[in-house]
Amino acid sequence: MKQFSIIIITSILWTTAFTQNDFAFEMHNQMDKEENILFSPTSIKTAFAMAYEGAKGSTQKEFEKVFDFTEDNEAFLKEIKSLKKNAEISNSIWLLEKYEILKSYINAVSEKFDSEPFKTNFKNDPKGSAEKINKWIEESTNGMISKMLTAQDVQEFKMAIVNAVYFKKNWKNPFNKKWTQKGDFNNLDGSIKEVELMQQLDYYKAGTGDNSEKVIELPYEGDETSMIIILPKKMKNYELTNELYKDLNTKIYRRKVNLVLPKFTFGTPTFQLKPFLVKMGLVESFSNAANFSGMRAENDLKIGTALHKAKIIVNEEGTEAAAVTVIGMVKTTSVSRPTPPFEFRADKPFYYFIKDNKTGSIMFMGRMNKM
Q: What structural domains does the chain harbor?
A: 1-371 (3.30.497.10)
- pLDDT tens, per residue, the chain with 371 residues: 333 333 333 333 333 444 578 899 999 999 988 889 999 999 999 999 999 999 999 999 999 999 999 999 999 999 999 999 999 999 999 999 989 999 999 999 999 999 989 999 999 999 999 999 999 999 999 999 999 999 999 999 999 999 999 999 999 999 999 999 999 999 999 999 999 999 999 999 999 999 999 999 999 999 999 999 999 999 988 999 999 999 999 999 999 999 999 999 999 999 999 999 999 999 999 999 999 999 999 999 999 999 999 999 999 999 999 999 999 999 998 544 456 788 889 989 988 888 888 888 878 888 889 88
pTM comes to 0.87
Distance CA 117, CA 109 (A): 9
The answer to whether the CB of 284 falls within 8 A of the CB of 64 is: no
Own/partner pairs for 119-123, CB < 8 Å, 24+ apart?
119/94, 119/95, 120/94, 120/95, 120/96, 121/96, 121/97, 122/94, 122/96, 122/154, 122/155, 122/156, 122/157, 122/158, 122/160, 123/96, 123/155
